[in-house]
Structure 1
């Protein structure tokens, strides 16, 4: 698979009035089904699985997980059997209805992924050795990819996001879920660059996770004010921003990660929290597959839809 993305310049009076420049690194265009950080995170994990002679990939995720979707296709493309341990045992009550209504799981199943639906209590044990052993007993040997894909090899892949052409940017911005992507960016950023991570979920636990995966004390910071209530939470203000941004730039944003990041960036611009005459690079981590599922939920809540 080719590793090609490009930087798209964003025009805005808010930027020009402050002497700022903003570009979006279109990692979402790396692959139609394994886009953005999922492409990067899976690259070396797939190589490692082959080296170990594994024929099966097992991973974890929620019912609308970008990671589940991407890994299912990557497995199909590279000749691996795939297993998804999905949070929510209620989904097992009527799986055919779930596959009919859930575009993410329907797509994953079309790629050959098999599923095990577990309770939320059991899902919290996903890193427990005894739970892993029970999965080995049930399914046989497998190569395990963690929830969200974040591990040492994923961080290595994410270190390749920045190219030599990106060395001139003053700020590198990225949405943060499990912390793997920002860790790779911190490791590869220049010492003069500051990496800003926009959390998509609540909590103060990510700092420790990131520190375990980075190699030095480069400048980085987590921005925690733009999660909109927590993981996958969304309101009309964010929906309106995503739709307006797409209309103005033709860049689609997802509501869980990149939409919140870009909203945060533009809000920080208006608050004059970026140094004047500096340049900003926002990394688009993909995730557009999740928009269809989100729109289904918005429709049930009588909220406006995301139009991309």
Structure 2
């Protein structure tokens, strides 16, 4: 295995109030897997890489925004495996010097191709993929965020590393991680906290399952185990408030738990708000730390 998921420990959050209510809160520290390919990034890429190796393609091509952890992870994985990589980046006004993430992607050998937001919106269209293949021949196309069947299966395996639990909380971006986790749970509740304002979590999860060949009856049954907490986006994707910054600092000091500003801080904030409800008494709750701390170092 290229990256050792055994580095992902279970950290117990010690809190007197939670203990008094019989709540055990654990954090699955996938952020410790690797500084650049951390959290759910390697889990999603693992089988994508295996499928690429079986194909006749020469390079990987994927998509991401200006601060995309997925672009960085793909660049790092491809660098170590000596696979040429292309990143289609949203924002034609950007450059490889725009921020540390894009700079690092270029340092790792990824070719960055900047496109307009209108063109980027076509990233899921078959016709657009055909155009990209003409421009970048022999490319294996990886969806944004690794959101495909192989990405889901990689995340599904994570459930085997957890103790018995009642609730599992995770930040949600492209829905691949949450779909994979949902495939692995049995009678437990999956709680998703989208970082995007007005994000239709169940619709996006249903679409990803459908594209992967799942029947609608099974999809509907699976989604019955999902609880969406959509009010913790703090204004929208990558939006930050003073309250959120204070919360991040407090978690670092109080629990020695580092959180990123885009995903994990909002999801963990949502968890800490939700578990104030008595319905969580006498339960074991797991929070999946999906990484994304590159800019924090």
Q: TM > 0.5 between the two?
A: yes
Alignment correspondent of 2:169 = 173
Structure 1 residues 103 and 52: CA distance shift in structure 2, 3 A: same
Alignment correspondent of 2:252 = 246
For 1:57, which of 56, 60, 83 is the aligned residue?
A: 60
RMSD over equivalenced CA pairs, Å? 1.6
Contact 1:30–1:36, Cα closer than 8 Å, also in 2: yes
Q: Which runs of 5+ in 1 are unaligned?
A: 293-308
Pairing 1:111-130 to 2, within 5 Å after superposition: 111-130=108-127
Q: Alpha-carbon deviation of 1:153?
A: 0.5
SS of 1:59's equivalent in the other structure is strand
Pairing 1:41-56 to 2, within 5 Å after superposition: 41-56=44-59
Contact 2:191–2:229, Cα closer than 8 Å, also in 1: yes
Q: Which runs of 5+ in 2 are unaligned?
A: none
Alignment correspondent of 2:103 = 106
Matched, 1:198 2:193: yes
TM-score normalised per structure 1? 0.88
Matched, 1:288 2:293: yes
SS of 1:89's equivalent in the other structure is coil
SS of 1:234's equivalent in the other structure is coil
What CA deviation, in whole Å up to 9, does each residue of 1:37-95 have, x standing for no partner?
Answer: 1001000000000000222000011011000100000111112100000000111xxx3
What CA deviation, in whole Å up to 9, does each residue of 1:76-116 have, x standing for no partner?
Answer: 1112100000000111xxx3xx51x5100011001000011
Pairing 1:83-102 to 2, within 5 Å after superposition: 83-91=86-94, 95=95, 98-99=96-97, 101-102=98-99
Q: How many residues align?
A: 283
Contact 1:42–1:157, Cα closer than 8 Å, also in 2: yes
For 1:228, which of 219, 222, 234 is the aligned residue?
A: 234
What CA deviation, in whole Å up to 9, does each residue of 1:187-225 have, x standing for no partner?
Answer: 10122x111001111124331221242755241111101
Matched, 1:81 2:84: yes
Distance in 1, matches of 2:78 and 2:200, equals: 31
TM-score normalised per structure 2? 0.91
Distance in 2, matches of 1:258 and 1:128, equals: 29
Q: Alpha-carbon deviation of 1:273?
A: 5.1
Structure 1 residues 69 and 204: CA distance shift in structure 2, 3 A: closer
Structure 1 residues 274 and 72: CA distance shift in structure 2, 3 A: farther
